[in-house]
Amino acid sequence: KAPSGSTVLVGESYRSLDGVMSGLLLIFVTVGGALVVLAGLAGYLVARTGLRPVGRLTRATRRITETGDLSPVAVVGDDELAHLADRFNDMLAALQRSRLAQNHLIVDAGHELLAPLTALRTNIELLIEIGDPDRAPAMPLDQDALDQLRRDIVDQLDEVARRIHRLVDEAREAHTRDG
């Protein structure tokens, strides 16, 4: 400010700084771009590493779906995904136990029903042979023996029905107990 009260402004052209500013702009753009690429690469690597267990679990579910193989999934680490894989393995073990129980039930049902069904079939075939006028039975039966054969068939049908009901009840109890 001058003693007379007027203000003096002094100006300088920034043209002399254009080269410095261009150099700084180039440095900032280059460094900034490199940092963005580096941050993207680091994010990709972290995401890939973090999602690797999810990929293993996904491949395991696909394998189980396609093959029916209930072998456990490899568990690596002690994080939430490892705990999820542990629970998944628990589920696979329960499915395996259920599959074994189902197979045992089928085998038991086959054994349980085979003998009475065979006897029933034999008696029915004998009854058919006796009733066929074109085929003379090897040993004719009197009326009492024929009535006994019919009663045996009804008794055998009742026995098969009882066994089927018992197997169904056991299967329901096992399902309720395991469910």
> Can you tell me which residue has the tokens 């004719």?
140
Helix (H, G, I), strand (E, B) or coil at 36: helix
Q: How do residues 21-42 score in pLDDT, each as one tens digit?
A: 889 999 999 999 999 999 999 9
Cα gap 110→104, rounded to integer Å = 10
Cβ burial, residue 20 (10 Å; 0-12/13-18/19+)? exposed
Average pLDDT for 2-28: 84
Q: Tokens standing for 19?
A: 């080269």
Residue 78 has which token pair? 């002690």
> HSE on the CB side for 77, CA within 13 Å?
14
Distance, in Å, from the CA atom of 63 to the CA atom of 32, rounded to the nearest integer, reads: 45
Q: What is the pLDDT of residue 136?
A: 59
Q: Does the pTM exceed 0.75? A: no
d(CA 172, CA 159): 20
What is the Cα–Cα distance from 112 to 107, expressed in whole angstroms?
A: 8
pLDDT for position 138: 59
Instruction: Tell me what the mean pLDDT of segment 79-104 comes to.
Output: 87
pLDDT in tens, 50-68: 888 888 888 888 988 899 8
